[in-house]
Structure 1
Amino acid sequence: MENDDYFEDEEFSPMKSILGLLTFSTILPINVFTSIEYMTKLTWIWPLLHLFVGILAAICGYVSMEFLHLNSFFTATIVYGFLMLITGYNHLDGVMDMADGVMVHGEPEKKIMVMKDSSVGAGAMATLFIVASITVAGIYNILDYHFILGIIICEMASKTSLLTTALLSKPLTPGIGSYFINETNPANYFASTFIVAVIAYLLGGYVGICGVVGAMVSGIIIAIIAKRNFVLANGDVLGMSNEVGRLLSLLFMAIALFFF
């Protein structure tokens, strides 16, 4: 996208960039495109865009439980499937690629080469299964507490996890991930996270705040793992952070629901 001559004389448009970011991260029929440089300038707003995605997923869960009368587990699998579908399975390859890179022995250069390789190893498949199954279990758990709004929070917070990793990482260039990492700085990160925390509190009180904290912890953990294994981070690392961020957000909320 960044090399397309079509965008050479384009002027920055916040609205076009927001819609471009939503086009990039979902399969919604928006079809608004802009250069990768302009789109990523508003990376900090990504969690707020996925607030909308989370609302759609929560509606899906509500319909499944209240109108189709499906149990919590069946609803959880449908909600997770819906989230994967509407986001175009965007980050699942990141989960698998980073897992393969971490599992292989050797220097960072070798690990990066494996992470970029298109082949899929046992570590990739196992990690994807673990992340997906625990995420479904997490949705199931919060639905058992009748906290359907937690679906909105965890989807929004998954992008907070991604931004946390981006903030704490140095980019591997070239690559699309490097643009997101370069555009994430302390000022826009903390502004984004503060807004996400306020929304999460309005939706779920202290439980919602715990969901955001869980996502931030996820982002820190993934950034540390990436630094130790690859030194630098790319789009695969950010994808892993997104998926693990949703998982840890659900885990933290599930624990908080028991105590609060």
Structure 2
Amino acid sequence: MKGFLTSVRAMFQFCTILPLGQPADYDEYARRFYLMPLTGYLVGGLAALASVLFADLQLSAAVALAVVMVIYGFNHFDGLLDLGDGLMAHGSREKRIKALTDQQIGAGGVATGILVLLLTYSGLLSVASIPFAILAAEVMAKFSQVVFVVNGKPFREGMHSYTHSFTKWWFTPVAFMLCLPLLLLPLNAFEFGGIFIGMAIPVILLYVLSNRLFGGVNGDVAGASNEIVRMFVIIALAILS
């Protein structure tokens, strides 16, 4: 039990900027990576609580989105920007990987970040419940990261490949089971279907695209999946609300 709680604390420490005491060993985070949806419950829950403090719909949506971005330290958003540069780069696979992994942010990254933020914010304005939408979206976004880290072939050595080395095939189904408490939310069958379809479609598309363009997955792709899946889930809920 102590090891489990240490891994939970390590996951919250490495995924968020929350002050949680003495830093835990990174290996504690990696060896139980299937716990990632718990981070979605924590961050999504905090964003949901923040959103209900404001009666104005536009402000509530903006605050919910701001809370998740800030608590993550914009790390996943940084991965989204890098992915945008990699997708928009022309030429060989090597050139795309260079654009994906360098420290510079180009027009492709900026445009991708703006589009995802605008679509996510617009979706939040149209859902039936911002708190429920942001919570569900965050949990499924974190599940998508488990899918990529467990199943995505690393195309280079780095933090992603190191974390990947700890994973087991059963991490994905266990992580999915941790998402099932979302079924307790007061949503209808169509909305629940939208949540899972909104997660599955971008995960499949991004997985196929990253393997075709980059020859595999890295931490930027896994981080970008968090932002993209959040957007898709919220849009799905907006359409079905």
TM-score (norm. length: structure 1): 0.85
Corresponding residue number in structure 2 for 1:156: 139
- Taking the aligned partners of 1:81 and 1:153, their CA distance within structure 2 comes to 16
In structure 1, what is the equivalent of residue 148 of structure 2? 165
> Conserved in 1, the CA contact under 8 Å of 2:48 and 2:135?
yes
Deviations 1:99-141 (A, max 9, x none): 1111111222221112111111111100000011111111111
Shift of 1:194: 2.6
Q: Report what 1:87 is aligned to.
A: 72
1:246 to 211, 230, 233: 230
Change in CA separation of 1:135 and 1:32 when aligned onto 2, cut-off 3 Å? farther
User: Cα offset for 1:184?
Assistant: 4.2
The alignment of Structure 1 onto Structure 2 pairs a total of residues equal to 238
Task: Give SS of 2:23's match.
Answer: coil
Q: Distance in 2 between matches of 1:164 and 1:87?
A: 19
CA offset digits 1:159-203 (Å, max 9, x no partner): 11222233441013321122343444442201211330x212111
Q: Residue 31 of structure 1 corresponds to which residue in structure 2?
A: 21
Q: What is the rounded CA distance, in whole Å, between the counterparts of 2:85 and 2:130 in structure 1? A: 35
Matches within 5 A, 1:207-222: 207-222=191-206
Letter in 1 for 2:158: G
CA contact 1:164–1:216 (8 Å) conserved in 2: no
Q: Which has the higher contact order (CA 8 A, sep 6+)?
A: 2
Measured in 1, the distance between the counterparts of 2:65 and 2:168 equals 31
| Percent identity for Structure 1 against Structure 2 | 28
Gaps of 5+ in 1: 1-11
Return the alpha-carbon distance in structure 2 between the equivalents of residues 240 and 34 of structure 1: 25
- 1:8 aligned partner: none
Higher CA-based Rg: 1
2:44 paired residue number: 54
**Residue in 1 that maps onto 2:183:** 201
**Distance (Å, rounded) in 2 between the aligned partners of 1:76 and 1:152:** 12
Q: Is the 8 A contact 1:16 1:32 kept in 2?
A: no
Q: Provide the TM-score with structure 2 as the length reference.
A: 0.91
Corresponding letter in the other structure for 1:137 = S
1:83-112 per-residue CA deviation (whole Å, 9 max, x = no partner) reads 111111111111111111111112222211
Aligned position for 2:162: 179
